[in-house]
Amino acid sequence: MAFDYHIKAKFVPISPGFDLHTLVQCTENFDYVRRISKDKLNSRSIGNIEALVKSVVVLGGKPLVIEGWGPSLPSALFSSEWLEENLGSKEETVWDIPNEVNTPMTIGHYLRSMKTLTNQFTPTNYMESRNQRLYLKDIDCPEAWADHLKNIIPKFVYYLNDCVEYSNDENSTPCALNNFRQNSYNSIAAPAGDLMSSLPPEMRASNMMCYIGHDGTYTAAHREMCATIGHNIMIEASADNDDEREGSSIWFMTESNERSVVREYFSAVLGHDVEIEKHFAQVNAWKNAPFKVWVVEQKVGDLIIIPPLAPHQVWNRGTRTIKAAWNRTTVDTLELALKEALFSSRMVCRDEQYRCKAIVFYSLQKYYKILKQNDTEENSYQHERTKQLWDDFKRLFSLYQDVIISEMFSLKLPKEKNVEMLPHNSGVLCSYCRCDIFNRFLTCRFCNSDDSGESSDTYDICMDCYAMGRSCKCISNLSWVEQWEWKFLADCYELWRNFIVRFYSGTEILKSFQPLEVVRINHGKKSIAQICQEQLKRRPWKKTNLTEDHKPYSVHTKSKAVGESRQRTLKERRELKAHRSNREVPKPANVKRYRCHVCRRYELNWKMAFCSTCNLAFCYSTLWHEFDLMPQAIMAENDWHCPRCLKICSCKTCQENLTRIPLEVKGTILGHNTKKVADHRSVESLVDFSRSKLVWMYFDPSNPQQSIRRKLSKDEVVSEITQTHEHESLANENEDANFLTPDGMSRLESRSMKNIDPFLRDLSTST
């Protein structure tokens, strides 16, 4: 059960008459996003424009607006009339924001309803919760629109672009640049602007999207998926006339470099996680935030480029706004994804649509062919673009090295037998976290039936999820599956490594790019595949889910009647499974219990981590909630030293020793009920990640940027919730009262814990 007893900031809409200019002028931490005119870029080379975007957005982590595209968007094509005439009968799903449900509706019906939907909101009633907010979002961009945008927008920032062609002269300007129509020159090797183009067409994610919204619709605070670079251009909006209100969108944006502060602020103060696109932060929250807030009022012709991993949110104004949006994957974003973003997505079970590891592999294949062809061209390596391609090739190879090392089996354990082979283009997703699985994973064919006993998909779990204790109810006795021949992956590694070493030569390159076996030995930690091997032997096989209504999948029984197969005895099913896998059913694991040094609870030995020095036992739940240690991080250590030996233990006994300094928790982690997303057969056997690592922030009204943190135990929170029923209800939620006074704080604590933001209640909600 999710530990959901924490304060959550409520949703406060923005008034139709909201004055953005005054807000930015009067708020210290607000500033407008830097704008660059498209006309000014006409006199610059494409290489210079690309360098500008990378410097500001990717490396600097700040958003950027390229304005002035309006004249290049003909109204005969980019209009609601064209959309209704050509696609009006097409049925899409409209997102009902307040009710969080999708509603089927044709595009034409939605467009005709936008005036009525907009007229709901007035300066006096915009706070009413009964107002409808219907957002036509995440629909495929019309092909005619996408083709036109491809012709006018610089290729290196456009969706799914391949290697851009450049003149041999880096300072030259492409022909007809005032419309950004890039004619071909003498082609030289250059990096792709979007590495998604490296994937085979059937493996690419379709993310050229269109968003149509009316006044009061919004996109909640979120980050771009898989740390990609976001692009959003407003292509049409309603004008200010008698029948319609002028359309625009207000963006509240942050910097990539401040993402940790932003996430902590949202979690600890607002009670929401930016990894889940669910909460639209009220203006007062942004005004009092301890970080820079970049603001944009987006109008027709404004192209906004969004930094990777930077949280942002959007509010639509006026009768109608129509935007086109896409994402790009680069080497920089892949590094962020594999080292940070995918872990965060895995925790909340957010789909990985961009297949990051596969992009690394296929990009290396593609770049290797391009660079090898350039071997025959004299002086080709003197071009800056080719040098950049080599640099990207090396960085991609380093990522591939990390991927393949993580999938290597143990050098000490017996070789795995009966590993099933499955073609990689099958598109296997983890049944728990929904991530894309590049090569090796675990599968359970005992849990292949639904509640009615009918055959369903096998249960596939990625190695990261299994290491952290996620699996089906069987917990153990899972089988290995791989999607590539290991020899092929290893041969690719050596081929690309030798190619790099031959080109650069030198001792330093040899040290940085070593043979696979040497890298594995020098890695110093266990690979995630080795961890899974060890845990499969350590964890018990739970056979309780093998009821008469659940049979293991087998090609020998698929043709039999369902009624007959349901009556199989448990013994027959075990024999059937053993026959299929050609391996013995594992013996039950040792069920000896140990007491956790910190929480003092007894747990089974496979749920405990044992110190290599003092041999004390710590349960994985305590290590995560008290010391920020994930189970797989502990399991990866060959010699793990416990918090007590490191003198950071927070238990009462250790704190009596003045030489020990307890570890301070890095930040707030809100629990999430992943059962809503994960496969219904899933369990968490080591740590209940739905529980919050709750840190509550109290603020000094005279200096809201400073905070004092204290942990709230579950009992304290529940106690405060119970006390709320003993107090009278407070004033209306729209009341402009100061709750940060001593008296006000006591009143605040007596109110229901849900949908209240104590830090924000002192300011006008109407802004």
Joined together, the tokens standing for residue 381 give 């390596």
pLDDT at 455: 52
- Distance between CA 696 and CA 708 in Å, rounded? 8
Contacts (Cβ under 8 Å, ≥6 apart) of 19:
none
β-bridge pairing 64-67 and 35-37 = parallel
Gyration radius from the chain CA atoms = 28
Long-range CB contact pairs, 586-592, < 8 A, 24+:
586/476, 586/477, 586/536, 586/537, 586/541, 588/540, 588/541, 589/476, 589/537, 589/538, 589/539, 589/540, 591/540
pLDDT at 377: 57
Buried/exposed code over 391-427 (b: 16+ C-beta within 10 A; e: otherwise): ebbbebbebbbbbbbbbbbbeeeeeeeeeeebebeee
Q: What does the longest C-alpha to C-alpha distance in the chain come to?
A: 84
Calculate the CA dihedral of residues 731, 736, 741, 742 and round it to 10 degrees: 0
Dihedral sign for Cα 293, 35, 73, 181, please: negative
Q: Which amino acid is at 69?
A: W
pLDDT at 215: 97
- Distance between CA 613 and CA 89 in Å, rounded? 70
Burial category of 330 from C-beta neighbours within 10 Å (exposed 0-12, middle 13-18, buried 19 and up): buried
pLDDT at 441: 97
With vertex at residue 446, the alpha carbon angle to CA 443 and CA 450, rounded to the nearest 5 degrees, is 105
- 3-class DSSP state of 451: coil
Burial category of 74 from C-beta neighbours within 10 Å (exposed 0-12, middle 13-18, buried 19 and up): exposed
Q: Which helix or strand (DSSP H or E) is residue 499 part of? A: helix 486-504
- List the chain residues with pLDDT less than 50: 1-3, 164-186, 452, 545, 547-589, 695-767
Tell me: the pLDDT tens digits for 40-84? Answer: 887 777 778 888 999 999 999 999 999 999 999 999 999 999 999
CB-CB contact of 317 with 46 (8 Å): no
Domains of the chain with bracketed CATH: 33-255+292-347 (2.60.120.650), 407-546 (no CATH), 593-655 (3.30.40.10), 695-749 (no CATH)
- Distance between CA 553 and CA 448 in Å, rounded? 6
Could you tell me which of 472, 410, 399 has the C-alpha nearest to residue 440?
410
pLDDT at 511: 85
- 3-class DSSP state of 305: strand
CB-CB contact of 480 with 420 (8 Å): yes
* Complete edge-to-edge strand list for the sheet that includes strand 229-237: 35-37, 64-67, 303-306, 229-237, 321-328, 209-213, 134-140, 91-96, 101-106
Q: How many CB atoms neighbour CB 313 within 10 A? A: 20
Could you tell me which of 183, 241, 214, 225 has the C-alpha nearest to residue 354?
225
DSSP result, 15-64: PTT--HHHHHHH-TTEEEPPEEEHHHHTTS-HHHHHHHHIIIIIIS---E
Beta bridge partners of 105: 92
- Distance between CA 667 and CA 268 in Å, rounded? 8
pLDDT at 386: 86
pLDDT at 44: 74
CB-CB contact of 533 with 409 (8 Å): yes
Could you tell me which of 23, 51, 40, 326 has the C-alpha nearest to residue 190?
51
Per-residue three-class SS string for 637-648: CCCCCCCCCCCC
Per-residue three-class SS string for 150-209: HHHCCHHHCCCCCECCCCCCCCCCCCCHHHCCCCCCCCCCCCECCHHHHCCHHHCCCCCE
CB-CB contact of 195 with 331 (8 Å): yes
Tell me: the pLDDT tens digits for 552-602? Answer: 433 333 333 333 333 333 344 344 444 444 444 444 445 689 999 999 999
pLDDT at 446: 84
